[in-house]
Amino acid sequence: MTTDQVVPAFEAEEAVDPFLLSGKTFTSRLLLGTGGVPSLEALERAVVASGTQLVTIALRRVETSTSTGLLEILNRCGVQLLPNTAGCMTAREAIRTAQLAREAFDTAWVKLEVIADEQTLLPDPIELLDAAEQLVADGFTVLPYTSDDPILARRLADAGCAAVMPLGSPIGSGLGIGNPHNIALIRELVSVPVILDAGIGTASDAALSMELGCDAVLLASAVTRARDPEQMALAMRHGVEAGRLAAGAGRIPRRWHAQASTSMQGRPDL
């Protein structure tokens, strides 16, 4: 290697800011869910536009004709599959779903969801922690969808989860980040990656997640239910990147009063 070798800026950038998750390196910090997508064609365009490398899927009874097409598209996009346990309400159900997904997709990674009820879709913390502990013991890479409770997040991290994924607001609500202080506190309390999951409505929400210190963002509805999923996917990609850069750049402190950016010195007498 010679000293005058030029490294393209974008490559250098990728090399200095990899996203490490359970021993794997990703360059994208946007995880995309596939739920709510209007068509497989729209999904493929959105996946490509988002630049994502990790995409969630669910396990359901063989009936839908979309199954084969869905996997073909995701395979073509070269993304890693992240099965979820969507709809599970007990640790027992979630564990079996994760084990079935491991058989179907040859992956021990799981987005662990254990919801309390269908109205709020909020995580059931007791069942969630129980399921997380058992799945970690069974060799899974557990990525739990959790509430924004910093103590629960810490318990999940202590249980051996590969990341914690606190919600910004309820699934599919698009309400953004209801309690930014909790998200920032979670980032302080755990050493595993923090992935903001659920509640993102638009690109500024994704940017804010990253500014609060999150390592990545997982979203679905905000893209799949947008009027133009492809364009929103691109917006989310830029939002995540902008927020990440801003978080690393060190924002100015908030001030109560104005501070002139132009010096008053040398002002002419007119």
Instruction: Give the interface with other proteins as residue ranges (CB under 8 A).
Output: 33-37, 43, 56-64, 66-68, 70-71, 81-84, 86, 96, 99-101, 103-105, 111, 113, 220
Q: Which is nearer to other proteins, 22 or 67 (CB)?
A: 67
Radius of gyration of the chain (CA): 20
Q: Which residues contact 256 (CB under 8 A, 6 or more apart)?
A: none
What is the CA 75 to chain-centroid distance, rounded? 20
Cβ closer to other proteins: 61 or 257? Answer: 61
**How many CA atoms does the CB half-sphere of 241 hold within 13 Å?**
14
Annotated catalytic residue within 111, 155, 187, 237? 111
Cβ-based nearer residue to other proteins, 82 or 232: 82
Q: Taking the CB of residue 166, how many other CB atoms lie within 10 A of it? A: 31
* Contacts (Cβ under 8 Å, ≥6 apart) of 73: 40, 43, 44, 47
Contacts 24+ apart (CB under 8 A), 138-144: 138/95, 138/99, 139/108, 140/98, 140/102, 140/108, 140/109, 140/110, 141/22, 141/108, 141/109, 141/110, 142/110, 142/112, 143/82, 143/109, 143/110, 143/111, 143/112, 143/195, 144/111, 144/112, 144/113
Per-residue b or e along 182-196, where b marks 16 or more CB atoms closer than 10 Å to that residue's CB? bbbbbbeebebbbbb
Residue showing tokens 């979309």: 66
Minimum CB–partner distance for residue 67 and other proteins (Å): 4
Question: Smallest distance from the beta carbon of 82 to other proteins, in angstroms?
Answer: 8
- Least distance in angstroms from the C-beta of 32 to other proteins: 9
CB of 13 to other proteins, least distance (A): 29
Cβ closest to other proteins, residue 144 vs residue 150: 144
**Least distance between other proteins and beta carbon 83 (Å):** 8
When the beta carbons of 206 and 247 are compared against other proteins, the nearer one is 206
| Cβ-based nearer residue to other proteins, 150 or 229 | 229
- In the complex, least distance from residue 56 CB atom to other proteins, rounded to whole angstroms: 3
Is 24 catalytic? The answer is: no
Active-site positions read 111
